[in-house]
Amino acid sequence: FMQADEKLLQQHYSDLAGRPFFNGLVKFMQSGPVVPMVWEGTNVVATGRDMIGATNPLESKPGTIRGDLCIQVGRNIVHGSDSLPSAEKEIALWFKESELCPWTLHVEPSVYE
């Protein structure tokens, strides 16, 4: 857990800076702790986004995080990078290199081609 400060959140959501909801989003994200994490694996961006669900929770499939736990698009509970370049940028923003520990699942050679 961590408490994200305004500067970090403004950097994270910089692509939304001109949108009317930007200040409210930053304020909301500062209202409590967040749990930043890095997911690693085969097709991780696509797989992660499938698990998270559509940005609008009303369009999310049942069984997804947003489909099961959200009701409003502005409070959609979770963020997931939309591409590897975005993920690399966001990881560098939220984590120090020393905080990351890459690893390979021991069954990976048996599961993936």
Predicted local distance difference test score (pLDDT) of residue 4: 98
Which class is 36-111 in CATH?
Answer: alpha beta
pLDDT of residue 42: 86
**Where do the domains of the chain lie?**
36-111
pLDDT value at residue 113: 78
pLDDT of residue 1: 93
**Distance separating alpha carbons of residues 108 and 34, to the nearest angstrom:** 30
pLDDT at 60: 96
Whole-number pLDDT of residue 109: 84
Catalytic pick among 49, 67, 77, 79? 79
In single-letter form, the type of residue at position 7 comes to K
Which tokens belong to 102? 């890459």
Catalytic residue list contains 79: yes
**Residue ranges in the chain whose pLDDT is less than 50:** none
Burial class (CB in 10 A: 0-12, 13-18, 19+), 53: buried
- What pLDDT is recorded for position 54? 96
